[in-house]
Amino acid sequence: MLRSNPLTAPFFDYFQDAVERSVLFLDVLRCRGNDYVEQSNRTAPHVLTFDLELLVDGRTLPQPVNYGLVRIIPPADVTIDPNKRPFIVFDPRAGHGPGIGGMKHDSEIGVALRAGHPCYFVGFLPRPEPGQTIEDVCRAEAHFVQVIADRHRQADGKPVLIGNCQAGWQIMMMASMAPDLSGPILIAGTPLSYWAGVRGKYPMRYLGGLLGGTWLTWLLSDLGNGVFDGAWLVSNFESNNPANTFWKKGYNVYANVDTEAKRYLDFEKWWGSPVLLNAEEIQFIVDELFVGNKLTAGKIVTSNGERVDLHKIKSPIIVFCSFGDDITPPQQALDWILDLYDDVDGIIANGQTIIYSLHQSIGHLGIFVSGKVARKEHEEFAFNINMIDAMPPGLYELVLTDADESTPRPDLVEGKYIAKLKSRTLDDIRALGHNDAADQRRFETAARLSDVNQGLYRTGLQPIVKAVTTPASAEFQREMHPNRVAFRAFSDRNPVMAPVAAVAENIKANRHPVSEDNPFLAVERMASSWIVNNLEIFANARDAMMEATFLGLYGSPFLQAAVGLQAEHTDARRVRHDFAGAETRAELEADMARGGFLEASIRALLYVLRGGGADERQFNALEALRNSAPENERVPLSRLKDILRRQATLLRLDEREAVASIPKILPADPSRRARALTAIYEVISADGEPEPGEEKRFQDIRRLFEGPGSKKQAVPDRSPQQVA
Long-range CB pairs of 628-636 (<8 Å, 24+ gap) are: 628/720, 628/721, 628/723, 628/724, 629/724, 635/598, 636/156
Mean pLDDT of 407-428: 93
- Residue-level pLDDT at 197: 94
Convert the pLDDT of each residue in 65-74 to its tens digit. Answer: 999 999 999 9
Residue 636's pLDDT is 87
Q: What is the pLDDT of residues 652-665, one digit of tens each?
A: 889 999 999 999 99
What is the pLDDT, as a whole number, of residue 718? 41
Cα–Cα distances (Å) from 504 to 29, 496, 497, 533, 540, in that order, read 12, 14, 11, 32, 39
pLDDT score at 567: 55
Structure confidence at residue 368 (pLDDT): 87
583 confidence band (pLDDT: 50, 70, 90): low
What is the identity of the amino acid at 106?
D
Say which residue, 509 or 591, is predicted with more confidence: 509
The end-to-end CA distance of the chain, in Å, is 86
At 572 the pLDDT is 52
DSSP H or E stretch at residue 512 = none
Query: Is the distance from CB of 713 to CB of 675 less than 8 angstroms?
Result: no
The model's confidence at residue 719, banded by pLDDT at 50, 70 and 90, is very low
**DSSP line for 289-337:** IITT--TTTT--B-TTS-B--GGG--S-EEEEEETT-SSS-HHHHHTHH
Q: Is the pLDDT of residue 136 over 60?
A: yes
Backbone angles phi, psi at 206, to 5 degrees: -90, -10
Q: How far apart are CA 47 and CA 103, in angstroms?
A: 5
Mutual angle of helices 519-554 and 9-41, in 10-degree steps: 50
Q: Amino acid identity, residue 668? A: A
- The mean pLDDT of the chain is 91
- What span, in angstroms and rounded, lies between the C-alpha atoms of 72 and 516? 44
Residue type, 545: M
- Amino acid identity of residue 198, one-letter, is V
Confidence of residue 453 (pLDDT cuts 50, 70, 90): very high
Confidence of residue 667 (pLDDT cuts 50, 70, 90): confident
Is there a contact between 651 and 608 (Cβ–Cβ < 8 Å)?
no
Overall average pLDDT of the 136-156 stretch = 97
CA angle 395, 205, 459 (to 5 degrees): 125
Q: What is the pLDDT of residues 300-319, one digit of tens each?
A: 999 999 999 999 999 999 99
Q: Which of the two residues, 667 and 496, has the higher pLDDT score?
A: 496
Between CA 386 and CA 614 the distance in angstroms is 12
In CATH terms, the fold of domain 51-230+274-437 is Rossmann fold (3.40.50)
Note whether 532 and 247 are within 8 A (CB): yes
pLDDT of residue 580: 54
Cα atoms found within 13 Å of the Cα of residue 163, Cβ hemisphere only: 28
> 241: Cβ–Cβ under 8 A, 6 or more apart, which residues?
326, 539
317 strand-pairing partners? 185, 354
d(CA 616, CA 624): 12
Q: Note the pLDDT of residue 707.
A: 76
Distances (CA, A) of 671 to 621, 664, 676: 21, 17, 9
SS3 label, residue 356: strand
Query: What is the C-alpha to C-alpha distance for residues 262 and 382, in angstroms, rounded to an integer?
Result: 28
Region 447-458: what's the mean pLDDT?
Answer: 96
Q: What percent of the chain clears pLDDT 70, i.e. is strictly above it?
A: 94
Residue (of 6, 186, 172) closest to 85 by Cα position: 186
C-alpha closest to that of 367 among 169, 46, 108: 108
414 vs 284, residue with greater confidence: 284
Q: What is the DSSP string of 390-453?
A: HPPSEEEEEEEEE--TT-S-GGG--SSEEEEEEE--HHHHHTT----HHHHHHHHHHHHHHHHH
- Identify the pLDDT of residue 714: 44
Residue 517 has pLDDT above 70, yes or no: yes
Average pLDDT, stretch 79-104? 91
pLDDT at 287 over 80: yes
Q: Can you tell me whether residue 685 is helix, strand or coil?
A: coil
Give the pLDDT score at 3: 62
Q: What is the largest CA-CA distance in the chain?
A: 103
The mean pLDDT value for 227-234 works out to 95
CA–CA distance, 138 with 152 (Å, rounded to integer): 21
Whether 348 and 81 have beta carbons less than 8 Å apart is answered as no
**Predicted model pTM:** 0.93
β-partners of residue 423 are 396
**Residue 387: partners with Cβ closer than 8 Å, 6 or more residues away:** 419, 421, 614, 616, 619, 620
Running DSSP on this structure, what letter comes out for residue 83?
A: T
Q: If phi over 0 gives left and psi between -120 and 50 gives alpha, with beta otherwise, what is residue 515?
A: beta
pLDDT in tens, 92-132: 998 888 888 888 888 999 999 999 999 999 999 999 999 99
**pLDDT, position 576:** 61
The closest alpha carbon to 716, from 677, 667, 669, belongs to 677
Using DSSP's 3-state secondary structure scheme, residue 563 falls into coil
Query: What's the confidence (pLDDT) of residue 202?
Result: 87
Is 398's pLDDT higher than 50?
yes
When pLDDT is averaged across residues 321-350 and rounded to a whole number, the result is 95
Mean pLDDT, rounded, for 143-148: 98
CB-CB contact of 170 with 163 (8 Å)? yes
pLDDT at 627: 77
Cβ 345 vs Cβ 649: under 8 Å: no
CA 208 vs. chain centroid, Å, equals 23
Under DSSP, the state recorded for 82 is T
Each residue's pLDDT tens digit, 609-655 = 887 789 999 999 888 877 777 777 778 888 888 999 899 989 988 99
Q: Which whole number is the average pLDDT over 82-100?
A: 91
In the chain, count H helices and then E strands: 34, 13
Q: Is the pLDDT of residue 690 over 80?
A: yes
The band of 723, judged by pLDDT with boundaries at 50, 70 and 90, is: very low
Mean pLDDT of 185-210: 94
Examine the pLDDT at 568 and tell me if it is beyond 60. no
| Range in 48-57, 549-558, 577-586, 692-701 the model is least confident about | 577-586
Q: Where are the domains of the chain?
A: 51-230+274-437, 585-722
